[in-house]
Amino acid sequence: MRNVDVVIVGASLAAAAAAKRTVDAGLETVILERKELPRHKICSGILSPRGHRFLLENFGPLPRETLHEPTSCRGVTFHFPCRVEMPMDFFHGTTPHLHRKYSDHWAIQRSGAEVHDQTSFAGLEDKGDHVIVHARRGGEPIEYRARQVIGADGPSSLVVRAVYPDYTKQIPWFFVGQKFHEIIDCPLSPDYFHFWFHPGLGHYTWSHARDGRQIVGVGFKRGDNFAKKHQVVEQYLKDKHGVHLKPADDDHEGCAENFGPSLINRYVFGKGNVLLTGQAAGFLNMIGEGMSCALHSGAISGEAVVEAQRRNRPVQEMYRRMIGSEVRRCSDQWNPLKIAFDRPHEADFPEALMKLSWRERKMVLRDMWNFIVLFKEFKWGRQIAAAALQRPLLGGYPVQKWL
Amino acid sequence: MAPDALQGIVRQQTNAARWNGAGWREFVADLRSAGVTLAEGTAATGIYATDAGGTAYSLPHGVLVARNAAQVATLLKVAQAHRVPVTVRGGGLTTEGESVAYGGVLLDMTGMSRVLAIDADAMTVRTEAGIYWHGLAEELRRSGLDYLSAPLNMTSSVGGTLGVGGIDVNSARLGCSADQALALQVVTPTGEIVECSDSENVELFQRVILGYGQFGVITEATLKIRPYTPLSMHYYYYSTLREAIEDLQLLDANDASDYSGILTIMDCAVNLLVAFDSAEREAAFKAHWERRLRGHGEFGFALCMAGHYALRPWKLGEALYLFKRKQAVFPEFRRPEFHRDGRMEDRTVVFSRAVWKHWGSRNMVIPDLATSTDKFIEAVERGNAVCRKFFPHYTLYCVGIRLRPEHKAHYEMSCVPPDAEGWAYGCEFEPMIEDAVYSRDHFQSFKNAIYDIGVDLGASYYRFGGMMKGYIRRVFGDALVDKHLAMKRQADPAMILNRDVIF
């Protein structure tokens, strides 16, 4: 049995950030990855400015192979059924269009941690002062003894299931899929990430350029039909935006998403010596960008491990006290009071709104409301309102709601 | 489009990658055969895991407590040959991890802490550079002498301070702490022991003073000293930063006081402190300048505050915090054991005790800005807005720093802003962490927001380690940084000494 200070499950950006902190502090750190690195990752790859800053400050300048073409993204364009478009540039200039297969591998290598790829997490036992991690490599069982374990294995986290077996049944699940099309004619600007507030298209509809093709992405409640949903969006783009695309290539892809915990402050941070971070913990920024909060929450989980070991305090106590800043950052983006009176996002929605005529503003707000109504069935409204009201009173979001 | 076409975030890696330990065993063996033995293992290295900032953690592979310049020279020669990084630490009061070793050797200078010679006729002292200013003060005061200016802090070392700047409440008159150095003994990154001053090895002297430890390890220093005097202190209270800063600059420009500075409780209670070495200077101030100050006395200010908060009952929490803070902090500056005949006997001890007791915490997060006189108010007001956004409670500490025209070469690419003439002004922005636990990312975001103001205003950063690697090119431009980088490469071919602090 291998005896280490920290085992991190998943070779993601959150894992790289956590490993960076623990390795820097001199802790022996092993990262377990199910696939062989570099591995494919389903993702738009449009990183927010804050995530870009984190990568630069912690891992250095991004090599060319970590980026798709176009290498950068200027901002986000919102589209509404009323046909109004709202392009919004990011506050801090263009941001990278990450090729997750290589950017994740690069960050993991830069973290300095030891990586055991093709090693699947199979379970864990928290013994109080250490954790036994069970894994499989090439079909053979393998065990690790670690002082702490960090689960950074994404929305369908096996570590979450190991710690909270019922959690996955308690939250609504979505399916997010994307298809890649050769372009015949596409008037949508390749400099922007395009997002549709259109209830008829689904819960999460986006498109952007990548490596000479156009991505058409759809998100919907799990159980619906990907092909049908995609067809509706493709037709809509053709009819309303003049986007002419060839039939989708064969390399379409999709995954389950736990969209929701960051809206209603229902994060899951682990138990005992097991910490959960990144999207496994429920972090997801508005417009579905999860990389920047994965980097920051991952780093905080690593810091918490270091702090706990140095101060001889329970790691959960450290983590839950330190993670508050990231919870505020993330949940503020969904907080209607923050959106109305502050600037929680990294592009200026209020300014873009004010550039529109009164008539257009009215139509946009009406369309946004109609889009929000699409989420009515999840009964998040009261929880979001309660969290928004508690935010100024508590200076943060109530920790009692975290698992 | 290439990755470097990404606009907007002009940054570098500031959280250094840990050195991989290549060739460590051979290095240790060579060093041992040269007569220097490193302490290894976590029992020896663990105490150096972080600095006063408490946000950067790492462990060196081995530690050497400095005993003499020859031993330091041997270490640097062998490290240069094996390309092993060496991080130098004095009191460890850096806030950005500059004195944290990300692998390699941690050279602890506190082993070199003897005062070598005091010359009361020439008013100079020769001391080993690992000594704390407080230890130096103890020795000098036995002879009725004092240093010129030093950080109000018990555990900052002479060598570390000369390398970064150092400020005191008398800096508006006597300059930054580094300006009192007359000569230095320096061990260069290639292991030569060299004496330097304004007349000997001038270029090395210019680079080592305010050089952030890039061009050599200061092992001994000759400093100017002065006769020791107790202080008579006066406090004036303001409710706006602008008025207090204008009055501070008025006093400094007219040489109206011997000591001056601003210490605040958020931006609600702004305290301008003024002090004097002699009764004559104090009388002149009272005759000519006191009535021009717009600040209130303690009682008058208390009445103003009572009226202010009576009209703003929703700010009751803030009012209670101010009151609680006043009750806790004010007596610290009036402790009878440090006062005799109404004069403060030892400002270092009084201020240091108060700072550690009421401002200190596990994390010393103190980003700062140094600007020219005319940009200072804007810098402080913008920094104050950042503090309000990030933390419920904080303090600001502002002082003037008299610049010496003959030291202009020392100031190049340092904490002294390039456009400052006569005085530079510095402000520290210090959150009150109290019992809260914040993530390093939260602190980093806060510091970035303050440092971004510096970039915007063309300012610099002063005090301990504010000169972050990620900001230096943005502040000084590529041409100047590349010039210093070329000098660094020449002086330190393997780039081993204090890596990742600036370059």
Q: Is residue A127 part of a domain?
A: yes
- Do residue A165 and residue A195 come from a single domain? no
pLDDT digits (tens, 9 = 90+) for A100-130: 999 999 999 999 999 999 999 999 999 999 9
Residue A383 lies in a domain: no
Residues A26 and A52 in one domain: yes
Mean pLDDT of A277-295: 90
Q: Do A126 and A193 belong together in one domain?
A: no
What are φ and ψ of residue B394, in 5° steps? -160, 175
Look at residue A79 and tell me if it is in a domain: no
Q: What is the pLDDT of residues A47-80, one digit of tens each?
A: 888 898 889 888 988 899 999 989 989 999 999 9
Which residue is closest to B471 within chain A, CA to CA? A57
Mind listing the pLDDT tens digit for each residue in A39-48?
A: 888 888 888 8
Interchain pair A24, B7: CB under 8 A: no
Output the CA–CA distances (angstroms, integers) from residue B205 to B210, B214, B462, in the order listed. 10, 12, 19
Q: Which of A57, A67, A324 sits opposite B13 (nearest CB)?
A: A57
pLDDT in tens, B306-323: 999 999 988 888 899 999
Task: Give dist(CA A64, CA A40) in Å, integer.
Answer: 17
Residue B465 has pLDDT above 50, yes or no: no
Which among A247, A273, A293 is the end of a domain?
Answer: A247
A314 at the B interface (CB within 8 A)? no
Average pLDDT (B86-113) is 93
Domains held by chain A: number: 2
- Beta-bridge partner residues of A37: none
Residue B302 in this model has a pLDDT that exceeds 50: yes
Give the phi and the psi of residue B416 in degrees, each rounded to 5.
Answer: -80, 120
Domain membership flag for residue A199: yes
Q: Which of A337-341, B192-196, B329-333, B464-468 shows the lowest per-residue confidence on average (mean pLDDT)?
A: B464-468
pLDDT > 70? residue B468: no
Interchain contact, B17 vs A71, CB within 8 Å: no
Quote helix, strand, coil % in chain B, to nearest 5.
40, 20, 35
Residue B273 near residue B259, CB atoms below 8 Å: yes
For residues B383-407, give the mean pLDDT: 92
Q: Which of B47, B439, B440 to substitute to test the interface with A, most A CBs within 10 Å?
A: B439
Q: Does A318 reach chain B within 8 Å, measured CB to CB?
A: yes
Min distance A366 CA to chain B CA atoms (Å):
32
Describe the crossing of helices A324-332 and B440-457 by its angle, rounded to 10 degrees.
70
Check if A55 contacts B (Cβ < 8 Å): no
Q: B9, A93: Cβ pair inside 8 Å?
A: yes
Interchain pair A57, B470: CB under 8 A? yes
Identity of the highest mean pLDDT range in A142-146, B263-267, B476-480: A142-146
Classify domain B3-110 by CATH architecture. 2-Layer Sandwich (3.30)
Instruction: Reply yes or no on whether the pLDDT at A311 is more than 90.
Output: no
Output DSSP code: residue B179: G
| Shared domain check, A203 and A268 | no
Do A49 and A116 belong together in one domain? yes
Nearest residue in A to B13, CA atom: A57
Q: Among all residues of chain B, which has the CA nearest to that of A56?
A: B13
User: Which residues touch B247 (CB under 8 Å, ≥6 apart)?
Assistant: B236, B238, B272, B292, B293, B294, B295
Contacts of B53 (CB under 8 A, 6+ apart): B94, B95, B96, B97, B363, B364, B365, B465
Closest alpha carbon within chain B to A301: B439
Decide which of A303, A331, A359 is a domain's last residue.
A331
Q: Worst-scoring range by mean pLDDT, A324-333, B119-128, B281-290?
A: A324-333
User: Which of A70, A94, A110 is opposite residue B7, by nearest beta carbon?
Assistant: A94
* Residue B28: pLDDT over 70: yes
ipTM of the complex: 0.76
Whether residues A14 and A46 share a domain: the answer is: yes
In this prediction, residues B402-406 reach a mean pLDDT of 91
- Indicate left, alpha or beta for A45 from its phi (over 0: left) and psi (-120 to 50: alpha): left
pLDDT above 50: residue B196: yes
d(CA A111, CA B446): 24
Helices and strands per DSSP (H, E), number in chain A: 13, 18
Contact residues for B362 (Cβ-Cβ < 8 A; gap 6+): B54, B433
Q: Over 70: is that where the pLDDT of B12 sits?
A: no
Give the model's pLDDT for residue B1: 35
* pLDDT for res B2: 37
Contacts of A323 in chain B (CB under 8 A): 439
Give the least confident one: A39-43, B282-286, B492-496. Answer: A39-43
pLDDT of residue B364: 85
In the predicted structure, residue B126 carries a pLDDT above the cut 70 = yes
Asked if A92 and B18 come within 8 Å (Cβ–Cβ), the reply is no
**Domain assignment present for A232:** yes
Overall average pLDDT of the A164-169 stretch: 87
Residue with tokens 């490193």: B38
Q: Are B140 and B125 in contact (CB under 8 A)?
A: yes
Question: Is residue A151 located within the same domain as residue A211?
Answer: no
pTM of the model: 0.84
Considering only alpha carbons, which residue of chain B is nearest residue A319? B439
Contact: A24, B57; criterion CB under 8 Å: yes
% of chain B surpassing 70 pLDDT? 96
CB contacts under 8 A, A 79-98 vs B, are 90, 92-96
Whether residue A265 is predicted with pLDDT greater than 90 in this model: the reply is no
pLDDT of the residue at A223:
77
CA A115 to CA A111: how far, in whole Å?
A: 10
For all residues of chain B together, what is the average pLDDT? 90
At B164 the pLDDT is: 87
User: Is A88 a domain residue?
Assistant: no
Residues A107 and A63 placed together within one structural domain of the fold: yes
Tens-digit pLDDT profile for residues B223-248: 999 999 999 999 999 999 999 999 99
Do A108 and A51 fall into the same domain?
A: yes
Q: Is the pLDDT of residue B11 over 80?
A: no
CB contact under 8 A, B9 and A96: no
Residue B158 tokens read as 């002479």
Smallest Cα distance from B12 to chain A, Å: 6
Instruction: Nearest chain B residue to A91 by CA: give it.
Output: B8
User: Of A270, A275, A300, nearest to A402 (Cα)?
Assistant: A270
Chain centroid to Cα A299, Å, comes to: 15
- pLDDT score of B464: 41
Q: What separation in angstroms does the CA of B459 have from each of A141, B395, B483?
A: 59, 20, 20
Amino acid occupying residue B238: Y
Average pLDDT over residues B118-140: 95
How much is the average pLDDT of A379-384?
A: 83
What CATH number is associated with residue A29? 3.50.50.60
Check whether B334 has a pLDDT greater than 50.
yes
Tokens of B356: 């550690």
| Per-residue pLDDT, B352 | 84
Q: How confident is the model at residue B5 (pLDDT cuts 50, 70, 90)?
A: very low
Give the structural domain span for A123.
2-70+100-170+259-331
Domain-located, residue A83: no
Q: Are residues A201 and A160 in the same domain?
A: no
Among A113-117, A200-204, B220-224, the minimum mean pLDDT is found in A200-204
At which of A310, A331, A352 does a domain end?
A331
Shared domain for A44 and A191, answered yes or no, is no
Do A236 and A193 sit in the same domain of this protein? yes
User: A18 pLDDT exceeds 90?
Assistant: yes
When CB atoms are compared, the residue of B16, B45, B439 closest to A303 is B439
Measure CB to CB from residue B58 to each of A24, A70, A296 and give the nearest one: A24
Q: Is A397 within the bounds of a domain?
A: no
Tell whether A323 lies on the interface with B, counting CB pairs under 8 A. yes
For B159-181, how does the pLDDT look when each residue is reduced to its tens digit (9 = 90+)?
999 998 888 899 999 999 999 99
Mean pLDDT (whole number) for A163-172: 86
Partner B contacted by A392 (CB < 8 A):
no
pLDDT at B9: 52
Taking only the tens place, the pLDDT of each residue in B354-366 is 887 887 777 888 8
Q: What pLDDT is attached to residue B3?
A: 37
What pLDDT score does B4 carry?
41
